[in-house]
Amino acid sequence: MGIEQFIDNEVKSNDVVLFMKGTPQAPMCGFSAQVIQILDYLGVPYKGLNVLESEDLRNGVKAYSNWPTIPQLYVKGEFVGGCDIVREMFQAGELQSLMKDSGMSVKTPA
Amino acid sequence: MPMNANDIEKLIKTRIPDAEVTIRDLAGDGDHYAATVIAESFRGKSRVQQHQLVYEALKGQMGGALHALALQTGIPEA
């Protein structure tokens, strides 16, 4: 299976996928860590894929999304954005709406 | 290889002539920047598309020479 097909399959078979440096438990980059914090705060399940484990994956996902940097967040197969966009959307409440509209329950602060 | 803020601004304006560009050197090391790019031509485009235009303007420097460019884009307020 080619890398493009692998990525396509991952983002379409998981509701929320984060291409990141490191793992959700041990992010290796501040930008990746920020997105993890936001996803954990929302309490949505997601799959983290570590691009540091595979140069193929790292280059492949940049080509797939036409986006030059990591992290990259996908929801329901759609590219949502990198760290800046995710943070902006979170602060505006748009990320929460996107998750809800995609059929996921989002933890709201008490 | 760090880039200076003027070069970044010039690259962006070449591709997006109506852009109003504000760049801050976050760490003073010529390597970590935050840019705000406001352009009327962004109207009707998604955030991802707006950022992609800026990245396109930077011609592959992003993720290479430019490790850290925090980016915020938008359209001018009426």
Give the domain ranges of chain B: 5-74
- C-alpha dihedral, A73 to A79 to A81 to A82, nearest 10°: 50
Confirm or reject contact between B33 and chain A (CB < 8 A). no
d(CA A14, CA B7): 40
CATH number among 3.60.40.10, 3.20.190.10, 3.40.30.10, 3.20.20.70, domain A3-99:
3.40.30.10
Cα dihedral value B29, B63, A9, A22, nearest 10 = -30
Over its length of 110 residues, how does chain A's per-residue pLDDT go in tens digits? 899 999 999 999 999 999 999 999 999 999 999 999 999 999 999 999 999 999 999 999 999 999 999 999 999 999 999 999 999 999 999 999 999 999 999 987 65
Complex-level ipTM: 0.78
Span A52-63, pLDDT tens digits: 999 999 999 999
Taking the Cβ of residue B72 and every Cβ of chain A, the question of whether any pair is shorter than 8 Å is answered with: yes
**Are A67 and B52 a contacting pair at CB < 8 A?**
yes
**Domain B5-74, CATH homologous superfamily name and number:** BolA-like (3.30.300.90)
Q: Tell me the count of A-B CB pairs closer than 8 A.
A: 29
| Residue B48 near chain A (CB below 8 Å) | yes
Per the CB < 8 A criterion, the answer to whether B70 and B25 are in contact is no
A-chain residues near B60 (CB < 8 A):
68
pTM: 0.87
d(CA A79, nearest CA chain B) in Å: 8
Nearest CA in chain A to B64: A68
Residue contact B62–A81, C-beta within 8 A: no
